[in-house]
């Protein structure tokens, strides 16, 4: 059985890595293309990780991913994980805190506490929060390098005889034919998984990506030269500000954009958003910075109408699947999502070809 995975970001690399671990006999070709690795979401990602999310499904996947990372020294090293802790601030009543906290507690015992911000036992690193704001504090959380993790996973794939191709696939037909590659590579895969992040909608030929639920969106960060003391990774839903410290003592800060439908090959920085971000940073972090004193950068991600990195069928009967839709948050869910996707794909192929041995599926 042979499977093509298209996209060498964290989604494609992790999926191929899981497939290889689940079935050492499956033939895998990972097409990584030749886009600048710094231009993709994985290269630009802030890599903030935690267990808590405001909906139960995402919270489960994020908690499982965080638990795997916390428990595996090799993965922590591959990902350069930094456990600086995580704060999440949200409006009271906007999430079922009891249910969400129990999801995290079952996977990361003793990691999460929550209270009204006024009742935090120590000083709150984020200021000016509305009264009654819920503060979710996680000990096991922080950030990692998605770029380093995908590089480590790709290195492991090469060592385990997975073909890593730099050919640029220019399109995928619903029957699984790849365009733009050597004819020997174009046909014959039992499954083709397009895991090309924001490039995915352009690669699906004869298929309407909007009807399929996919859209691209810009994500923009700034690098600040200083960070307030004691600040770990944080997300403040009351203002939109989020960020995390940098290893050099600086700070990475972001605020949501509304730039939908961007071309992943040409996402520029929006200067007006930098101004807005610095105003919020002044209010919430008491950081007074000029636009000239920070460095803005941007990339894009693939969003899905049902957000979350997951294996999705292109259409019934087609050997083409997608593994994208992380919607700006796939770094924190990729470990569990790739495990589920790889197991699901192998099961689907085994069901479609009954009687094949594990090695022949
Ligand atoms: C600025 C920014 C900050 C973020 N911060 C966080 C965070 O703090 N926490 C969090 O959980 N998530 C975060 N995210 C989201 C997370 O990083 C992304 O969801 C994740 O990296 C997406 O990975 P991917 O592999 O799906 O896509 P990508 O990383 O974009 O990878 C897609 C790959 O496909 C390749 N490709 C494209 N076309 C082709 C082709 N024709 N043939 C072969 N290969 C091709 C590209 O070269 C690229 O390498 C952030 C995202 C951005 C952009």
pLDDT digits (tens, 9 = 90+) for 272-319: 999 999 999 999 999 999 999 999 999 999 999 999 999 999 988 899
CA-nearest residue, atom 18 of ligand 1: 330
| Residue 210 confidence (pLDDT) above 90 | no
Whether residue 80 is contained in a domain is answered as no
CA-nearest residue, atom 41 of ligand 1: 169
C-alpha 142 – ligand 1 centre gap (Å): 19
| Residue 38 confidence (pLDDT) above 60 | no
Nearest partner of 307 among 284, 278, 337, judged by Cα = 337
Domain housing 40:
1-47+145-213+305-361
C-alpha 35 – ligand 1 centre gap (Å): 11
CA-nearest residue, atom 12 of ligand 1: 329
Kindly provide the b/e burial profile for residues 14-24, where b requires at least 16 CB atoms within 10 angstroms of the residue's own CB. Answer: bbbbbbbeebe
Is the C-beta atom of 219 inside 6 A of ligand 1? yes
Report residue 227's pLDDT band, with 50, 70 and 90 as the boundaries.
very high
C-alpha to C-alpha distance for 59 and 158, rounded to whole angstroms: 32
Per residue in 142-151, pLDDT (tens digit) is 999 999 999 9
Whether residue 154 is contained in a domain is answered as yes
Query: Which atom in ligand 1 lies closest to the alpha carbon of residue 168?
Result: 42
User: Which pLDDT value is given to residue 35?
Assistant: 61
Q: What is the mean pLDDT of the chain?
A: 94
| Residue 359 confidence (pLDDT) above 60 | no
Report residue 260's pLDDT band, with 50, 70 and 90 as the boundaries.
very high
C-alpha 327 – ligand 1 centre gap (Å): 10
Report residue 360's pLDDT band, with 50, 70 and 90 as the boundaries.
very low
Is the C-beta atom of 142 inside 6 A of ligand 1? no
Is the C-beta atom of 203 inside 6 A of ligand 1? yes
Is the C-beta atom of 32 inside 6 A of ligand 1? yes
Four-residue CA torsion sign, 15, 20, 21, 22:
positive
Whether residue 64 is contained in a domain is answered as no
Per residue in 264-273, pLDDT (tens digit) is 998 999 999 9
Whether residue 267 is contained in a domain is answered as no
Whether residue 274 is contained in a domain is answered as no
Report residue 356's pLDDT band, with 50, 70 and 90 as the boundaries.
low
| Residue 198 confidence (pLDDT) above 50 | yes
Question: Percent of the chain having pLDDT more than 90?
Answer: 87
Segment 255-270 mean pLDDT = 94
| Residue 76 confidence (pLDDT) above 60 | yes
Mutate to test the pocket of ligand 1, among 267, 328, 341 (most ligand atoms within 8 A of CB): 328
Segment 163-174 mean pLDDT = 94
* Number of domains present in the structure of the chain: 1
Is the C-beta atom of 320 inside 6 A of ligand 1? no
Q: Which of 60-69, 71-80, 205-214 has the lowest mean pLDDT?
A: 205-214
Whether residue 349 is contained in a domain is answered as yes
Segment 201-222 mean pLDDT = 92
| Residue 37 confidence (pLDDT) above 70 | no
C-alpha 40 – ligand 1 centre gap (Å): 5
What CATH number corresponds to the domain at position 25? 3.50.50.60
Report residue 361's pLDDT band, with 50, 70 and 90 as the boundaries.
very low
Whether residue 360 is contained in a domain is answered as yes
Nearest partner of 334 among 23, 21, 79, judged by Cα = 79
Whether residue 16 is contained in a domain is answered as yes
Mutate to test the pocket of ligand 1, among 9, 149, 311 (most ligand atoms within 8 A of CB): 9
User: Which pLDDT value is given to residue 170?
Assistant: 93
Report residue 36's pLDDT band, with 50, 70 and 90 as the boundaries.
low
């Amino acid at each position: 059985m042979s499977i093509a995975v298209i996209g060498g970001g964290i989604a494609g690399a992790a999926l191929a890595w899981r497939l290889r671990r689940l079935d050492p006999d499956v033939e895998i070709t990972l097409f990584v293309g030749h886009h600048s690795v710094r231009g993709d979401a994985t290269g630009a990602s802030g890599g903030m990780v935690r267990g808590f999310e405001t909906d139960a499904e995402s919270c489960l996947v994020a908690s499982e991913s965080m638990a795997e990372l916390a428990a595996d020294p090799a993965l922590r090293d591959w990902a350069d994980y930094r456990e600086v802790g995580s704060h999440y601030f949200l409006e009271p009543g906007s999430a079922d805190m009891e249910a969400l906290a129990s999801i995290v507690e079952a996977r990361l015992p003793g990691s999460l506490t929550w209270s009204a911000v006024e009742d935090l036992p120590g000083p709150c690193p984020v200021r000016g929060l509305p009264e009654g704001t819920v503060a979710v504090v996680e000990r096991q959380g922080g950030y990692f390098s998605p770029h380093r993790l995908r590089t480590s996973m790709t290195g492991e794939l090469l060592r385990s005889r997975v073909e890593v191709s730099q050919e640029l696939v220019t399109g995928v037909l619903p029957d699984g034919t790849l365009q733009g590659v050597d004819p020997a590579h174009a046909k014959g895969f039992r499954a083709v998984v397009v895991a090309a992040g924001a490039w995915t909608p352009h690669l699906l030929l004869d298929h309407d990506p909007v009807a399929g639920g996919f859209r691209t969106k810009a994500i923009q960060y700034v690098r600040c030269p200083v960070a307030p003391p004691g600040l770990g990774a944080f997300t403040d839903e009351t203002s939109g500000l989020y960020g995390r410290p940098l290893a050099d003592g600086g700070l990475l800060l972001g605020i949501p954009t509304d730039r939908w439908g961007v071309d992943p090959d040409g996402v520029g920085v929006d200067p007006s958003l930098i101004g807005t971000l610095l105003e919020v940073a002044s209010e919430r972090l008491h950081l007074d910075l000029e636009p000239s004193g920070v460095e803005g950068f941007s990339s894009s991600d693939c969003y899905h109408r049902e957000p979350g990195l997951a294996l999705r069928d292109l259409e019934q009967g087609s050997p083409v699947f997608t593994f994208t839709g992380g919607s700006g948050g796939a770094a924190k869910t990729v470990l569990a999502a790739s495990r589920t996707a790889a197991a699901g794909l192998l099961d689907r192929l085994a069901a479609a070809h009954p009687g094949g041995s594990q090695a022949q599926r």
